[in-house]
Chains A and B, each alone.
Chain A
Amino acid sequence: MIAVNPIGALVAAAIVFAVVATLWWMLHPPISKVQEIARDAETELERMVGSIIVVFSENIASQHMMALAAKLAKGERSELLAIYVVSVPYSLPPDAEMTDEERRALDALGAAQAIAAKADISLRTETVKARSTKQAVLDIAKRERANLIVLGSFREGKYTGAPLSRTIEEIAAEAKCDVIIGVEGKHGNLLADQVGFEQIEQGEKAP
Chain B
Amino acid sequence: MPDQHQPELKRSVTPWGSFSWGYSDVGADIFVGLGLVLGAAAGASNVAFLFAGIVYVCIGLAYTELAATYPVAGGGQYFVMRGLGDFLGFIAGWAVLLDFTIDVTLFAWSCVDYLSEVVPVLLNPIHPWVHFIAVFGLIAGLCLLNVLGVRESTTFNGVVSALDVISETSILFFGFLFAFRPELLVHTMTTQWPSTFNLMLGASYAIISFVGLESISQAAQETQRPASIIPRTSIALILTILIYALAYSNLALGMVPWHQVPLDAMGHAQTLWQWLGNNDNNGKAVALLAKDVPYFGALAALYVPILGAILLLISSNSGVFGSSRIAYAMANAKLLPSIFQRVHRRFRTPAISIIAFCAIAVVELIFAAWPSLDPGAAAFYAKFFHGEGGIGFLGDLYAFGAATSYSFVFLALIALRMNDPLSPRKFRIPLNIPLTYKGERVLFPVIGVLGFIGILSILVFTIITHDLGRIAGPAWLILGFIIFVIYRRNKGLPVFGSAPHDWRHEQIGILRDAGELELMDEYLARLKEREPARIAEVG
Which chain A residues have a beta carbon within 8 Å of chain B's beta carbons?
2, 4-5, 7-9, 11-13, 15-16, 18-19, 22-23, 25-27, 29-30, 32-35
CB-based nearest A residue for B177? A12
CB-based nearest B residue for A9? B177
Contact of B228 among A5, A11, A22, A30 (CB under 8 A): A30
Name the distance in Å between A76's Cβ and chain B's nearest Cβ: 23
Contact of A19 among B228, B240, B294 (CB under 8 A): B240
Residues from chain A with Cβ under 8 Å of B239 in the complex: 18, 22
CB-based nearest B residue for A3? B178
Query: Given known contacts A29-B15, A29-B229, is B181 in contact with A8 (CB within 8 Å)?
Result: yes
For the complex, is B19 an interface residue (Cβ under 8 Å from A)?
A: yes
For the complex, is B118 an interface residue (Cβ under 8 Å from A)?
A: no
For the complex, is B518 an interface residue (Cβ under 8 Å from A)?
A: yes
Query: Given known contacts A22-B239, A26-B236, is B177 in contact with A8 (CB within 8 Å)?
Result: yes
Known: A7-B182, A12-B173, A23-B240. 13 other contacts (CB 8 A): A5-B182, A8-B176, A8-B178, A8-B181, A12-B174, A13-B173, A15-B169, A15-B173, A16-B173, A18-B239, A18-B243, A19-B240, A34-B517
Residues from chain A with Cβ under 8 Å of B233 in the complex: 26
Residues from chain A with Cβ under 8 Å of B174 in the complex: 12
Name the distance in Å between A38's Cβ and chain B's nearest Cβ: 12
Are B180 and A11 in contact, with the CB atoms below 8 A?
Answer: yes
Encode contact with A along B508-526: 1 for CB under 8 Å, 0 otherwise. 0000000101100000000
Instruction: Report whether over half of chain A's contact residues are helix, strand or loop; otherwise say mixed.
Output: helix
For the complex, is B16 an interface residue (Cβ under 8 Å from A)?
A: yes
Are B180 and A5 in contact, with the CB atoms below 8 A?
Answer: yes
Are A2 and B294 in contact, with the CB atoms below 8 A?
Answer: yes
Encode contact with A along B166-177: 1 for CB under 8 Å, 0 otherwise. 000100111111
Name, among B176, B178, B229, the residue most crowded by chain A CB atoms within 10 Å (CB to CB): B176
Name the distance in Å between A184's Cβ and chain B's nearest Cβ: 34
In the bound complex, CA of A35 to CA of B182 (Å): 49
| 8 tightest Cβ-Cβ pairs between the two chains A and B | A8-B180, A26-B236, A12-B176, A12-B177, A8-B176, A11-B176, A12-B173, A22-B239
For the complex, is B179 an interface residue (Cβ under 8 Å from A)?
A: yes
Residues from chain B with Cβ under 8 Å of A32 in the complex: 225, 228, 518
Name the distance in Å between A147's Cβ and chain B's nearest Cβ: 31
Name the distance in Å between A90's Cβ and chain B's nearest Cβ: 58
Are B179 and A15 in contact, with the CB atoms below 8 A?
Answer: no
Are A29 and B181 in contact, with the CB atoms below 8 A?
Answer: no
Name the distance in Å between A109's Cβ and chain B's nearest Cβ: 41
Residues from chain B with Cβ under 8 Å of A34 in the complex: 515, 517
State the total of A-B contacts with C-beta under 8 angstroms.
76
Are B236 and A22 in contact, with the CB atoms below 8 A?
Answer: yes
Q: Please tell me the number of chain B residues within 8 Å of chain A, measured between CB atoms.
A: 32
Are A27 and B16 in contact, with the CB atoms below 8 A?
Answer: yes
Residues from chain B with Cβ under 8 Å of A33 in the complex: 518
Contact of B236 among A5, A8, A13, A25 (CB under 8 A): A25
In the bound complex, CA of A15 to CA of B175 (Å): 11
Residues from chain B with Cβ under 8 Å of A11 in the complex: 176, 180, 247
Residues from chain B with Cβ under 8 Å of A13 in the complex: 173
For the complex, is B535 an interface residue (Cβ under 8 Å from A)?
A: no
Residues from chain A with Cβ under 8 Å of B180 in the complex: 5, 7-8, 11-12
Name the distance in Å between B21's Cβ and chain A's nearest Cβ: 13
For the complex, is B429 an interface residue (Cβ under 8 Å from A)?
A: no
Residues from chain A with Cβ under 8 Å of B229 in the complex: 29
Contact of A2 among B173, B179, B182 (CB under 8 A): B179
Residues from chain A with Cβ under 8 Å of B15 in the complex: 26-27, 29
Are A29 and B243 in contact, with the CB atoms below 8 A?
Answer: no
Within 8 A of A (CB), among B292-323: 294-295
For the complex, is B366 an interface residue (Cβ under 8 Å from A)?
A: no
Are A19 and B243 in contact, with the CB atoms below 8 A?
Answer: yes
CB-based nearest B residue for A11? B176
In the bound complex, CA of A19 to CA of B294 (Å): 22
In the bound complex, CA of A38 to CA of B16 (Å): 21
For the complex, is B148 an interface residue (Cβ under 8 Å from A)?
A: no
A-B contact pairs, 8 of them (CB 8 A): A13-B173, A15-B176, A18-B243, A23-B19, A26-B232, A26-B233, A26-B236, A33-B518
For the complex, is B140 an interface residue (Cβ under 8 Å from A)?
A: no
In the bound complex, CA of A206 to CA of B179 (Å): 78
Query: Given known contacts A8-B180, A8-B181, A34-B517, is B243 in contact with A23 (CB within 8 Å)?
Result: no
Residues from chain A with Cβ under 8 Å of B169 in the complex: 15-16, 19
In the bound complex, CA of A129 to CA of B240 (Å): 68
Query: Given known contacts A29-B15, A30-B228, A32-B518, is B236 in contact with A23 (CB within 8 Å)?
Result: yes
Within 8 A of A (CB), among B205-253: 225, 228-229, 232-233, 235-236, 239-240, 243, 247
